[in-house]
Structure 1
């Protein structure tokens, strides 16, 4: 009479194969999660750089005069003055007596300004350099 069921050897082989497949799947999944996290962080960093660059560019184009001193850009507009610098590891924008921070702490590490010509400003945000000309 034949008994139904699995032998001990068959059960051990099945469990071993299942374990190998599970480990391979876990490795692939964790690799994808790690890649997704890195891409998300890089995307967030690029977006922050773009936001800062867009604000500085917009204000610079509306300015009539630019001065750079001690890594601070001062932009003269009609009836107001706007300045940009890094304070407490955050990008700070000051317009007259109003102060706003464009980033959270640590999002931007380097903000550099250089006046290339009387109305031509070059600025670098974490190594991404932009040149902008005053239009007014």
Structure 2
């Protein structure tokens, strides 16, 4: 699990990505940045943790059908499965967040502008672990 990138309690309804907001300029960062403001026009301010919007709109998406190259290491006994990568625009935060589509969501289920919501996810659905990452799921179809 990626520490402090998302809420860890409350189930799917309460699941949210966590970012930071600069107290000087109100810029939001994700992944979180606790040490400084990423806005180059800002002189800096303290960073406070903020939950990001649960819903956004598909900005772009792609069908990933190849194994990433080295240095990624794969277990040769585990079959490679294609997945859908989604870039989601969060209007209130004025940012785009990448993530995998929820299991079962294919590029055919998406289009630019589709409303999606963030849900807890695991990197390997077969290993039985709890949330380790996040996924994006279309709101209306599910």
TM-score by length of 2: 0.22
- The structure with the larger Rg is 1
TM-score by length of 1: 0.22
